[in-house]
Amino acid sequence: MYSKVVETTNFLKETTEYRPKVAIVLGSGLGNLVDFIDEKMEIDYSDIPNFPVSTVAGHDGKLVFGKIGGIEVVAMKGRFHFYEGYEMKEVTYPMYVMKQFGIEKLIVSNAAGGSNKTYDPGTLMLITDHINAFGTNPLIGKNDDRFGPRFPDMTEAYKIYLRDLAKEVADNLGIAYKEGVYLGTTGPTYETGAEVRAFTGMGADAIGMSTVPEVTIANYLGIDVLGISCITNMATGIAEKAHSHEDVVDVAKKAGENFCNWVINIVKKIG
Ligand SMILES: O=P(O)(O)O[C@@H]1C[C@H](O)[C@@H](CO)O1
Ligand SMILES: Nc1nc2[nH]cnc2c(=O)[nH]1
């Protein structure tokens, strides 16, 4: 895999002059953030050697390079999910490329169901930690020491200094947010009510189908992570109606204004 990562990275370096240190992964319905990126340079995933292609509605499938407040960034408009049938190594492939490209900080976002009853659809949740309920780990297999250690530490999977900075930015802008634990499952089914009760007992405040694999690999590679969930619906058993991906994307788009304002101003501070 190392030579593939080098090949993909070399392609990107030849295709763009941007050399960002900050990357953003945009969750379902949150892709509008790219409208706030100046001097954009876009590359379709299908044109990038060795890159998988996103198959989910609300996930466009492009890398968007550019600037936010003069800070160079690259955004993934569209991510890869385990439920799409990709291997964990494919789901997380972009993280390896990001590291090789020089990315030091990752802002990862997602749409998620709120299992914490104090949340509402539209709530933005700063991720304090996560629970891997995928039943597997993206690092299973032979370790390549050129990437990272065999037994990576996950003590501060979501960096405290980045969370403190995000809180300061939100407070200054008057953006309301909660803090909580994200639990990632394979999907593609939304949870049963019994699963939500079990996950809540385990400590989950929000439940989704992504993020955990990418954040695991980012930590392995030594990339600092900040995570934000957009609570698009209350989880099963708390919600008053059945879930649909259309509603998820719709609510994420509505919460997008606050989400974008928050992320833009975080980038301006960390860049
Ligand atoms: O990519 P994210 O985690 O934002 O997308 C969530 C999880 C599923 O892909 C989808 C379900 O509606 O939204
Ligand atoms: N697993 C899961 N993923 C989601 N993505 C958006 N809402 C949900 C949800 O309720 N459960």
Residue 77 CA to ligand 2 center (angstroms) comes to 19
Which residues are known catalytic residues?
28, 59, 81, 83-84, 111, 209-210, 233, 245
Which pLDDT does position 140 carry in this prediction?
Answer: 98
Sign of the four-CA dihedral 83, 89, 91, 92: positive
* CA-only gyration radius of the chain, Å: 17
Segment 67-104, tens digit of pLDDT: 999 999 999 999 999 999 999 999 999 999 999 999 99
For residue 16 and ligand 2, the question of a CB distance below 6 A is answered with no
Q: How far apart are CA 57 and CA 12, in angstroms?
A: 25
For residue 243 and ligand 2, the question of a CB distance below 6 A is answered with yes
Q: Which atom of ligand 1 is nearest to the CA of 190?
A: 11
| Ligand nearest, relative to CA of residue 229 | 1
Which pLDDT does position 60 carry in this prediction?
Answer: 80
Best mutation site among 236, 245, 251 for ligand 1 pocket (most ligand atoms within 8 Å of CB)? 245
Residue 266 CA to ligand 2 center (angstroms) comes to 25
Residue 146 CA to ligand 2 center (angstroms) comes to 35
Place of tokens 């059945």: 242
Q: What is the ipTM of this complex?
A: 0.99
Amino acid letter, residue 20: P
Looking at domain 2-270, which of 3.40.190.10, 3.40.50.2000, 3.40.630.40, 3.40.50.1580 is its CATH number? 3.40.50.1580
Nearest CA to ligand 1 atom 5: 28
Contact criterion met (CB below 8 Å) for 60 and 25: no
Which pLDDT does position 58 carry in this prediction?
Answer: 60
Mean pLDDT by 10 residues, the chain (271 residues): 97 98 95 95 95 74 96 96 95 98 98 97 97 98 98 98 98 97 97 98 98 98 98 96 93 92 96 79
b/e burial code for range 20-55 (CB count within 10 A of at least 16 → b): bbbbbbbbbbbbebbebbeeeebbebeebebbbebe
